[in-house]
Amino acid sequence: MTSLNGKTALVTGSTSGIGLGIAQVLAQAGANIVLNGFGDSDAALAAIRATGTEVIHHAADMRNSKEIEAMFAVVHERFGAVDVLVNNAGIQHVSPIETFDAQKWDDIIAINLSSGFHTTRLALPGMRTRNWGRIINIASVHGLVGSAGKSAYVAAKHGLVGLTKVTALETALTAVTCNAICPGFVLTPLVQQQIDDLAARERLSPDDARARLLGEKQPSGRFVTPEELGNLALMLCSPQAAEVRGATWVADGGWTAQ
Ligand code: NAD
């Protein structure tokens, strides 16, 4: 198993869902963890502490570049470096373009796309100095294909895939790599909201709404899990992945194979 002993991993948006799942796998591999995100962080902190590594939580709002800079200052003070950066924070809003709330558009672009630029620009100098680093952008199948009603999300995720490629090119002569993971549906609060909305709109039971959502897009008929995505992230941290650069790795139950 890949060891991340002595390394520090910052996972944005890791108080729940995919981010927490990735943080847990990286912690099990020995990395110190910086959690970020809103809501109650106690359970997430306890889950990471149980692995025996060091962990802190910083609640920087990913819409705000000054707060992101402040988070990096705290991390540098405490751990000296960010070796593994996982840009995971993200939100969703579903609506046709004509009625799409303009503030929601700005928030989605800021959290799902621009925060990845700010964290990358702040993490890269230290990674270059140590000549090792892993930047893993949690994009989505929506970084590769579209879905009606998700204009801001699809635009942001396509942008994040673009940022991934440019970061990979600008670090190609170093031992710093940057790649994107593109999940299909994962059962987290972000997707539960879409299931609840579908159930209310179509008068479906929770089980039927879940099956309908998956059935429309994901041929496997099952959700991808945060743990599976954590293990993919760990694989990208391994020495064997040293020349995986600018990749968009799907874990989508066959969604984009159609
Ligand atoms: P989630 O709602 O469970 O978690 C989102 C995390 O981001 C939480 O920790 C939340 O506190 C944090 N967050 C939200 N706004 C923030 C802000 N302004 N500043 C800092 N943190 C903020 O969602 P999730 O499903 O685990 O999604 C995580 C990532 O995976 C997102 O980028 C999402 O687009 C992506 N993704 C999710 C799915 C899915 O099916 N769930 C599929 C593909 C990609």
From the alpha carbon of 185, which atom of ligand 1 is closest? 40
Residues 74-90, mean pLDDT to the nearest whole number: 97
Q: Is the minimum distance from the CB of 39 to ligand 1 under 6 angstroms? A: yes
**C-alpha to C-alpha distance for 141 and 147, rounded to whole angstroms:** 10
Locate the ligand 1 atom nearest the alpha carbon of residue 115 and give its number: 19
Task: Report yes or no on whether pTM surpasses 0.75.
Answer: yes
Span from the CA of 186 to the centroid of ligand 1 (angstroms): 11
Packing angle, helices 151-170 and 102-109, rounded to 10: 20
Nearest Cα residue to atom 7 of ligand 1: 13
Q: Considering 72, 105, 153, 249, which one is annotated as catalytic? A: 153
Kindly tell me if the per-residue pLDDT of 113 is higher than 90.
yes
Distance 89 CA to ligand 1 centre (A): 5
Q: For residue 117, name the pLDDT band (cuts at 50, 70, 90).
A: very high
- How much is the pLDDT for 254? 98
Q: Is 36's pLDDT higher than 90?
A: yes
pLDDT band at 144 (very low <50, low <70, confident <90, very high): very high
pLDDT of residue 142: 98
Tell me yes or no: is domain 8-184+226-249 CATH 1.10.287.3510.
no
What mean pLDDT do residues 227-235 have?
98
Active site residue 153: yes
For residue 88, the model assigns a pLDDT of 98
Predicted local distance difference test score (pLDDT) of residue 170 = 98
CA 243 to chain centre: 21
Average pLDDT over residues 151-160: 98
Q: What pLDDT does 201 receive?
A: 94
Cβ 10 under 6 angstroms from ligand 1: no
CA quadruple 170, 172, 174, 180: dihedral, nearest 10: 80
| CB of 133 sitting under 6 A from ligand 1 | no
Tell whether ligand 1 has an atom less than 6 A from the beta carbon of residue 181.
Answer: no
- What pLDDT does 1 receive? 82
pLDDT on residue 208: 96
| Predicted pLDDT at 250 | 98
> What rounded mean pLDDT belongs to the chain?
97
pLDDT over 70 percentage in the chain: 100
Of the ranges 14-28, 102-116, 186-200, 235-249, which one carries the lowest mean pLDDT score?
Answer: 186-200
Q: What is the pLDDT of residue 111?
A: 98
Q: Ligand 1 center to residue 191 CA distance, Å? A: 10
- Residue 63 CB less than 6 A away from ligand 1: yes
pLDDT of residue 242: 98
Domain ranges of the chain: 8-184+226-249, 186-223
| Residue of 38, 85, 158 best suited for mutating to test ligand 1, as the one with most atoms within 8 Å of CB | 38
